[in-house]
DNA sequence: CGGCGGATTTGACTTATATCAACATAATGA
DNA sequence: TCATTATGTTGATATAAGTCAAATCCGCCG
């Protein structure tokens, strides 16, 4: 496989990637969850020369892009977590997505070539990125890549719609259960414990994301703990009764949907 | 320009398009708002042989696709209006989009090749459609088309995120003002009166879309009428004070954002 | 280690919006 | 046309979640 030495030259705090400590996509721990897994039709060795990896981690609070930035890269989370948010006209922040390892960030800018959201690290994180040009209509050899990115875009729409549904008609308790189950499923997909993890976001970020207040988030956690559905201490959470949480979230589980019913 | 006689052969109530009553994209009234406008790089004459037009209108209540249907076409609204919705596990409907003329429907299915939403006509409508194959990764000559659809997908994500913001933190009055302004902008884009139009959707559909109840929608209309911001009778609405509505929706208008302030 | 500041929890109270119920109006169809 | 049904309005009341305020917890830094 051909490996090309890359010198990254952006505002990101990335050091040049050296030949000898370079990891290729095939060796990456989240290979199956990231772009390569979606690129069956594309020559992966070629992809490896396109994808740029950060050699050192990104600090909590570091913005990988801001609203108004020109579209230069698509990012993939290698480790850690990010949030995407937009600012309303009145300046308030609205989080619309949390990004876990193996997930992509920045696709919103394809439309206007300008990012209309900001993305920031919620904790010590590592990322990979692909120059935007490889998705550009004039680029060659990226046919399969473009199709896959279209699928990802489409998937993102589907996910946004699910969130819309949650925000639109669900009660606080249901929204929170839905978030926990959603995180659980995503952690499971990367082969991490799905019933015991550390929430990468603060209570305030959960509240913002779900359209609630911090106090309500706190109270609902207490209530779910009271039911024995979860154990929570700070950001460490254990999902003790996933079927009950799924039921709360409106996800059909048992044959008798009333048997776990809680007012 | 080459025009090809097309026989449409689906579950849609479309009659064969005859040569002599066929309209091509260049002649279409919403040409500037639809796919052709986004396809500067693509040979439009070729597109005209791809796009299929309905010769008769679609009745209110007709579904152009349902959840679970395989992905066969991308649709463009020629006249009328549609809504897209998903059903929750418990069976309730959640509307996430209204589609006005010149807008596309069905892009959500690119990810899984199966529609995960349903689309239904809100009134007597006409549509065009493009077979999905022309976006398929194996298709030739659709490079520009694919790039444009990617942009549309990206745009849709941006729009969904705006709606998310609305649902998440806005009050009922603000949500409704935002919807009215949004419709106004979209009508303006198709060169229709932007301050006087007929709402294509029912009060119940507005309520569902905004995460409110029918009663609240009705009451907020009355309140906005009381302020003199709108005139409304049934589905006919006049936006009498667009700056005030924009201000309510949180869109910055004047230099002194407090001067229109209403509790 | 100890203290400072931000994050979280908890309680008391308020309020926006939902719910329930009755009525009015508009659309539909024989 | 009128009867019938769907859709929209209005009022009274209930409640989920927000607001305000105080207490507690926790991480961080000298």
Q: What is the pLDDT of residue B138?
A: 52
CA distance A114 to B154: 11
Q: What is the pLDDT of residue A177?
A: 95
Q: Using the CA of A235, give the nucleotide whose C1' is nearest.
A: C8
Identify from B148, B153, B171, B214 which residue to disrupt to test chain A contact, counting A C-beta atoms within 10 A and taking the largest count.
B153
Overall average pLDDT of the B210-215 stretch: 94
Condensed to tens digits (0 to 9), the pLDDT of residues A209-219 reads 999 999 999 99
Does the pLDDT value for residue A191 go beyond 60? yes
Q: Which residue has the tokens 């913001």?
A: B165
Does the pLDDT value for residue B126 go beyond 80? yes
Q: Using the CA of A211, give the nucleotide whose C1' is nearest.
A: D17
Residue B175 or B142, more confident? B175
Q: What is the pLDDT of residue B67?
A: 92
Condensed to tens digits (0 to 9), the pLDDT of residues B196-206 reads 999 999 999 99
CA distance A260 to B14: 48
Does the pLDDT value for residue B12 go beyond 70? no
Residue A142 or B94, more confident? B94
Condensed to tens digits (0 to 9), the pLDDT of residues B226-237 reads 999 999 999 999
Identify from B87, B93, B116, B165 which residue to disrupt to test chain A contact, counting A C-beta atoms within 10 A and taking the largest count.
B165
Q: Which two tokens stand for residue B56?
A: 């008769």
The model scores a pTM over 0.85: no
CA distance B212 to B246: 20
Q: What is the mean pLDDT of chain B?
A: 77
Condensed to tens digits (0 to 9), the pLDDT of residues B149-158 reads 777 788 888 7
Beta carbons of B220 and B172 less than 8 angstroms apart: yes
CA distance A182 to A188: 10
Confidence band of A256 (pLDDT split at 50, 70, 90): very low
Q: Which two tokens stand for residue B16?
A: 């064969």
CA distance A92 to A81: 22
Q: What is the pLDDT of residue A4?
A: 23
CB nearest B167 (choices: A86, A88, A211): A211
Beta carbons of A154 and A106 less than 8 angstroms apart: no
Beta carbons of A28 and A78 less than 8 angstroms apart: yes
CB nearest B146 (choices: A146, A167, A251): A146
Q: What is the pLDDT of residue A142?
A: 54
Overall average pLDDT of the B62-82 stretch: 91
Overall average pLDDT of the A88-112 stretch: 83
Query: Which residues touch B259 (CB under 8 Å, ≥6 apart)?
Result: none
């Amino acid at each position: 496989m051909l490996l090309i030495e890359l010198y990254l030259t952006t505002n990101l705090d990335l050091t040049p990637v050296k030949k000898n400590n370079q990891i290729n996509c095939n060796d990456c721990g989240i290979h199956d969850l990231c772009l390569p897994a979606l690129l069956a039709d594309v020559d992966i060795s070629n992809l490896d020369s396109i994808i740029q990896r950060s050699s050192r981690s990104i600090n909590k609070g570091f913005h990988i892009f801001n609203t108004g930035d020109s579209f230069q890269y698509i990012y993939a989370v290698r480790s850690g977590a990010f949030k995407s948010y937009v600012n309303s006209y009145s300046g308030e922040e609205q989080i619309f997505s949390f990004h876990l390892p193996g997930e992509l960030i920045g696709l919103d800018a394809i439309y206007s070539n300008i990012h209309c959201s900001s993305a920031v690290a919620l904790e010590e994180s590592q990322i990979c990125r692909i120059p935007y040009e490889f998705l550009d209509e004039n680029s060659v050899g990226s046919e399969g890549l473009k199709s896959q990115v279209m699928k990802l875009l489409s998937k993102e729409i589907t996910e946004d719609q699910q969130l819309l549904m949650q925000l639109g008609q669900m009660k606080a308790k249901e929204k929170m259960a839905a978030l926990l189950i959603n995180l659980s499923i995503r952690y499971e997909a990367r082969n991490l414990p799905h019933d015991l993890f550390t929430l990468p976001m603060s209570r305030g970020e959960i509240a913002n994301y779900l359209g609630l207040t911090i106090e309500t988030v706190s109270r609902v956690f207490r209530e779910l703990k009271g039911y024995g559905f979860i154990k929570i201490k700070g950001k460490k959470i254990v999902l003790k009764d996933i079927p009950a949480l799924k039921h709360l979230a409106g996800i059909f589980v048992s044959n008798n949907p009333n048997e776990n019913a809680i007012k």
